[in-house]
């Protein structure tokens, strides 16, 4: 009923909006084209075209069939190359997770552009996670590779690790925030009076961690690090920010760095990937980071101490 030749004939009539034009392009007679379409409609027991003396147009059923036939024919055309890539060890799908601290839309766009040039038939999915949510997506989700897994040791022997470096932190408040007028180092009692601005850990199956929050302190939870920075600039609260992210605001005086009794230690981050999914695409991404390719370095702008 829907052999390849029939599908090609049907789609060509739709694209030409004419039986006679389609016949010329397919090197067939108009009668042969008309007969094939009528036979298709008869077998389907469904009218696919509205016909007038001058034009043809699709019915709703015809539109539905056209959408599926077009997709099928596109797949048939690309299938040989797709099969060759699979034969050569190119993954059909790669799911990437990026730590909120390293998430950069321009860096992601450059990475996808680079990968799709080499692996045009691989399907990519990218998502952003916070703190232990990165590991959660690796251990319990569909993630194959994570950029910015916390720590430098793998939480599972089936996951490889490549250290990327460390993020250093600065405790900051807006220049007009009252806490900046208190002598430092600031005690916990002084800090507890003001809200802490945090990005919530996105982990589902693993224990969530809180970046910084004192007992009985009010907390403002925001969705990402850029929103956290904006809240600091507005003076809505206090807390730690990656030094590289806030340094320009410290230089202009929009943010003030405060000394606190308990400084936050640097946070090591790593590239992490599942050994079982190691194909050509994954290997390519790992090598971008191992050999300091400019595309990989774009993700590491917030890392002060690179590996």
In this structure, what CATH number is given to the domain that contains residue 69?
A: 1.10.10.10
Q: Are residue 16 and residue 60 in the same domain, yes or no?
A: yes
pLDDT of residue 278: 84
**Nearest CA-CA partner of 16 in 55, 71, 46:** 55
Q: Are residue 27 and residue 51 in the same domain, yes or no?
A: yes
Asked if the structure places residue 120 within a domain, the reply is: yes
Q: Are residue 11 and residue 156 in the same domain, yes or no?
A: no
Give phi and psi for 255, each to the nearest 5: -120, 150
Confidence category of residue 86, pLDDT binned at 50, 70, 90: low
C-alpha torsion angle, residues 285, 289, 295, 300 (rounded to 10): 130
Q: Are residue 101 and residue 245 in the same domain, yes or no?
A: no
Share of the chain above pLDDT 70, in %: 96
Q: Are residue 15 and residue 160 in the same domain, yes or no?
A: no
Positive or negative, the Cα torsion across 45, 47, 51, 55? negative
Task: Go through the chain and tell me how many residues it has.
Answer: 307
Q: Span 97-102, mean pLDDT?
A: 96
Which tokens belong to 238? 């206090």
Task: Provide the number of structural domains found in the chain.
Answer: 3
Before 185, cis peptide (omega within 30)?
A: yes
Q: Give the CA diameter of the chain.
A: 93
| Cα–Cα distance list, 270 to 64, 131, 162 (Å) | 47, 12, 5
> What is the residue range of 202's domain?
169-257
Q: Span 183-189, mean pLDDT?
A: 90
Asked if the structure places residue 262 within a domain, the reply is: no
Q: Are residue 39 and residue 187 in the same domain, yes or no?
A: no
Last residue of a domain, one of 25, 60, 87: 87
């Amino acid at each position: 009923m829907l052999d390849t030749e029939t599908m090609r004939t049907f789609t060509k009539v739709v694209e030409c909006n004419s039986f006679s034009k389609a016949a010329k392009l397919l090197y067939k007679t108009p009668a042969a084209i008309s007969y094939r379409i009528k036979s298709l409609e008869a077998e389907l027991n469904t009218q696919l075209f509205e016909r007038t003396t001058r034009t043809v147009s699709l019915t709703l059923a015809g539109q539905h069939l056209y959408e599926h036939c077009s997709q099928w024919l596109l797949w048939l055309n690309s299938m040989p190359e797709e099969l060759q890539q699979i034969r050569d060890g190119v993954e059909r799908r790669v799911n990437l997770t990026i730590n909120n601290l390293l998430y950069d839309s321009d860096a992601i766009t450059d990475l996808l552009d680079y990968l799709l040039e080499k692996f045009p038939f691989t399907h990519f999915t990218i998502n952003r996670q916070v703190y232990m949510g990165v590991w959660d997506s690796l251990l319990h989700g569909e993630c194959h590779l994570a950029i910015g897994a916390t720590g430098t040791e793998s939480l599972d022997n089936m996951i490889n690790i490549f250290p990327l470096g460390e993020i250093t932190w600065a405790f900051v408040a807006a220049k007009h925030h009252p806490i900046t007028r208190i002598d430092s180092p600031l005690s916990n009692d002084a800090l507890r009076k003001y809200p802490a601005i945090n990005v919530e850990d996105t982990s589902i199956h693993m224990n969530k961690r809180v970046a910084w929050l004192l007992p009985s302190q009010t907390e403002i939870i925001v969705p990402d690090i850029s929103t956290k920075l904006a809240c600091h600039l507005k003076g809505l609260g206090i807390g730690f920010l990656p030094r590289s992210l806030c340094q320009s605001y410290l230089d202009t005086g929009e943010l003030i760095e405060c000394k606190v009794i308990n400084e936050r230690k640097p946070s090591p981050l790593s590239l992490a990937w599942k050994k079982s999914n190691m194909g050509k695409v994954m290997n390519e991404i790992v090598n971008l980071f191992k050999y300091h390719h400019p595309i990989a370095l774009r993700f590491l702008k917030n890392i002060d101490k690179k590996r």
